[in-house]
Amino acid sequence: MIRAINWPFCIWECFISIRQIYADNSTNMSTFKKNPMAVMKPAEGAPVVVLNRNQPIFYCVPADAYKVLMGKLEDIELADIVRQRQSSPEIEVSLDLLSAM
């Protein structure tokens, strides 16, 4: 029960605890613990956010989706390395030297 004196604070407190959810599918922890595969099957390969007291505690991501995610992350990291090295001086290297390695 919210008292009239405290209501602005309570509303503010509720807004602070809201977190964005990055999945279209969700379940609570109890349901997930009972049968994780029954939760994942209807998601058809999409991530599922698991909630505890209506707060996201983790995302369950299928292996194929995780593989794609890791590939994209690697691409981002490699693109960052390329950007860093674009400003470094060029070094002339012979193909014979490279093939000997």
Q: How does pLDDT run across 74-101, given as a tens digit for each residue?
A: 999 999 999 999 989 988 888 888 888 7
Structural domain includes residue 2: no
Which domain, by its residues, includes 22?
A: 12-86
Q: Do the Cβ atoms of 46 and 23 come closer than 8 Å?
A: yes
CA 91 to the chain's CA centroid? 39
- Domains identified in the chain, total number: 1
Structural domain includes residue 95: no
Structural domain includes residue 45: yes
pTM of the model: 0.66
Q: Give me the average pLDDT of each 10-residue run along the chain (101 residues).
A: 45 61 96 98 97 95 96 98 92 86 73
Structural domain includes residue 1: no
